[in-house]
Each structure stands twice: as C-alpha cells, then as structure tokens.
A and B are shown apart, each in its own frame.
Chain A
Amino acid sequence: MISSDVIRGYNDTMILYLLLDGDSYGYEISRNIREITGGRYIMKETTLYSAFTRLEKHGFITSYYGNATQGKRRTYYSVTDAGRTYYRSKCEEWELTKDVVNHFIRRDV
C-alpha cells in the first residue's frame, strides 16, 4: 500500500505524463494509472479532479468539452507548453529526490 502522503507531490506528474501523448478524460486517466501501476496505485476520484483544477489554474493544462460519446459529454484535457516545462522540472526533481533518499535506504536491516 502506498502512503498517499508520499505520492501526493507526484499525482500531477502522472496526469501530465498521460496527457503527453494525447488528450484524455477523467476516467481514462484514472484507468491508465491503475493499469500502468498494476493496480498498486488507484488514484481517488477527488484527488484526480483536485489535480485537474489545480493544473488548469496554473495553466499547465486546458480543458474542453468533447463530443458526446455514448450519450455522455466528457471534459477532455490537454497539456500546454507550460505544462510540458513543469513536467520536465518535476522529472528532474524526482531524480534528485530518488538519489537523495536512496542514500538512506538499506536492505540488510
């Protein structure tokens, strides 16, 4: 089980990653996260939509109404240039974080 405290800072990164290859909508993103992580991380609905709200406020993503498929009008999201820049910086931050924390990880305890 992943502690949500630890992963909180990287929810945005996951969402942006999934938007890099094309626009997507809420459930597709949450399903992709579950599949990619082999079901080890399931992003809660409220976490996902909080992230959308936050990212849009910062101009990292934009949203638009998609065509109605199966009678449902979905909100689609696409990543902006600012979002790509932000994503790159988050990746660098993660590499650094991983390196730093790794210095304190011992498996022979």
Chain B
Amino acid sequence: METIKNYLDTMFQSLPDSPEVRRVKEDLLASMEDKYQELKEEGASENEAVGRVISEFGNIDELFSELGLSPEGTEEEPAEESILLSLEETRMYIHDAHREGRHVAFGVTLILFGASVLIFLAQLFEIRILGMGVPKPVREYMPVLSFFIFLVPAVGLFVNSGMKMDAYKFIDQGEFSLGKTTRQILGREALEIKDANRIYIVFGVLLCVISPVILFVAGMFGDTAAGYSICVMLIVIAAGVNLLILAGTREDAYKKLLQMDNYAQTHKRENRIIGAVASVVWPLTAAAFLIAGFCFGMWKTAWILFPVVGILFGAFSAACQAAAGKKE
C-alpha cells in the first residue's frame, strides 16, 4: 500500500499544491486503494496487486493536460527549475560525494589528532620532561601552535570540499528529477549500501562509546596517566568518527538522490533550520574553545565543549525533526 502512495507522490511531485490537484490526487489514491484491496481479496500477492494497480494507472500527462496543468508548474507559481539527472550524472555525484566525504573525514581526523598532540605536548611541558630551559611563553604557546599546524590544513580541506560540493547544491535542495530506471537502479544500490554501512556504523559507534573507558582505566594509574589517556581517547574517537562520516556520506548521497527520509521534499524546511543553527553554534563553540584556551589556559579541559555541544546539537536536531513529523 505504501508503494502505491509513494508512486502517486512521485507522479504529483512536480505539481503545485492547489485544492484541485489535491482533490484529484485523493480520489486517485482512494480508487487505487480500492483496486488493491479487491485484488488482495481475490487472492493476489502483494507484488501482483501493486503491479496491477500501477500498470493500470495510465499516463499522468493525460490527466495534467485535462486539468490545464503542466508538470513544470503553473503561471502564478514560477516554475521551479528542475534538472533531469541521467544515470551517469548521478554516478558522478555519488563519486564526488564519496571523495569529499573522505576529505572531510580526514580533516576531522587531523583536528582530533592535533588536539591530541596539543594535550600531549602540554602534558610533557608541565611535568618538565620537555622544554627545560625554554622560556615560559614558548612553553605555553608551543602546544597551541602545533594544534594550528593540524587545524589549518583541516580547515583548508573543509572549505575546498564545501566549494566542490557547492556545484551540487541543487541536489541538496531537491531541485532535480530522476528517470524511472535511474531511480530503480539507485534504489537497489541504496539498499546494498545500507547493508554494507551497518558494520561501519556499529564499529564507529562502538569506538566512540568505549573511548571514555580509556580515561577511567588510566585514571586508576594516577593523574599523569589520565592526561595521556585523553590523547589516546581522541585518536580512538577520530577512528570512530571517520567510520561514521564515511558511512554517512555514502548513504547521504543516495538518500538525497532518492529524496528518502530527511531529504524528502517536506523536510526541506527543517533541514534549513538545522543548517542555520549549525552554522551559528559550531563557530561559537570553536570561538569559546579558543578563548578558554588562550585567555584562561584551559586547553586541557576546554575540549569537553565539543562533545557536549555535539550531544546537545544532536538532541536539538532530533527534536526539530520530531516536531516536523508531528506536524505532518
């Protein structure tokens, strides 16, 4: 039954949402559901029933022209630009999205690794294993400087991949359409990817969850050990986050193309809100981290800002999506 509804949604996707269109769509759905129900009662299988209903649907253009509508939109609603993507173009998009996903993952690894080095060096200076006879300002700024050595190329990677993916902005915004066969092929691939990704996600989450355990265990061996264990923990988190980003971008590319889940047209607004909030929250967090570090020398503790904000932000976007789901 869901398939029939999705099929009809796809057929009507490019039409403006007028009362007239909505009524015809409702009537069509009722009629198709009646037919489906009856075929099932006659003993047809799910697949047979859905197949019959869809094959007897007919040509949607016939109906549109009778309604005086063209799928490109009516005059009072300016035509939203919709680009028909070929299979090759979607392949190119997926390929690029994967590549840029790898770059972003590498950038995140660099930052976490940089933070790890920062804490490690700070630790060494503090217990005077390193830097004897070095003036105090050098001792204080050396670790931070080393962090920036990692941060700068990472930011470069982010900006670069952001610019590259900018060319595909219309896909993020759902201003494209797919041919029937392209959609089917991608749909099949998306299922395979989802299966393959499960193991990535399981390991990624596992690594992130068990990483604090390192802290607790090291804590038993004294403060110094705990300090070093933060470095190890960050590297473990980096590995986990890497897996999650790789899995995420792979799946995202398909979800965007097929407009599944949170990329469905109706969720566009929520995604914009979350995106807008993210673009404010994360730079603020970074600024707070830097201020805490430079002004108050809290480099060793201020990193906690990132995981805390991460969890809060996750909760916020979940709430946002839940609210949107309720509205529907």
Residue numbers of A with Cβ under 8 A of B are 25-27, 30-31, 42, 44-50, 53-54, 72-75
Contacts and interface: CB of A to CB of B under 8 A. Distances in A.
Contacts of B66: 50, 53-54
Interface residues of B, number: 20
B1 to A, nearest CB: 13
B30 A27 contact: yes
A46 B63 contact: yes
A73 B161 CA distance: 51
Nearest to B11: A46
B58 A46 contact: yes
B109 to A, nearest CB: 53
B56 A72 contact: no
Contact of A26 (B31, B57, B67): B31
Nearest to A26: B31
A57 to B, nearest CB: 8
A44 B38 contact: no
A73 B66 CA distance: 23
Interface string B63-81: 1001100000000000000
A74 B30 CA distance: 7
B38 A31 contact: yes
B255 interface: no
Contacts of A27: 30-31, 34-35
Given A30-B35, A44-B56, A49 B30 contact: no
A25 B32 CA distance: 12
A46 B35 contact: no
B57 A46 contact: yes
B206 interface: no
B32 A45 contact: yes
Contacts of A75: 23, 27
Contacts of A46: 28, 57-60, 62-63
A49 B27 contact: yes
A31 B35 CA distance: 8
B24 interface: yes
Nearest to A29: B31
Nearest to B23: A75
Top 7 A-B residue pairs of the complex, sorted by shortest distance between their CB atoms = A44-B58, A46-B58, A27-B34, A50-B66, A26-B31, A27-B31, A46-B63
B52 to A, nearest CB: 9
Nearest to A72: B30
B58 A26 contact: no
Given A50-B62, A75-B23, 17 more contacts: A26-B27, A26-B30, A26-B31, A27-B35, A30-B35, A44-B57, A44-B58, A45-B32, A45-B58, A46-B63, A47-B58, A49-B24, A49-B27, A49-B63, A53-B67, A54-B66, A74-B30
Nearest to B59: A46
Nearest to B57: A45
A70 to B, nearest CB: 9
Contacts of A49: 24, 27-28, 31, 63
A73 B34 CA distance: 12
A53 B35 contact: no
A36 B322 CA distance: 50
A44 B24 contact: no
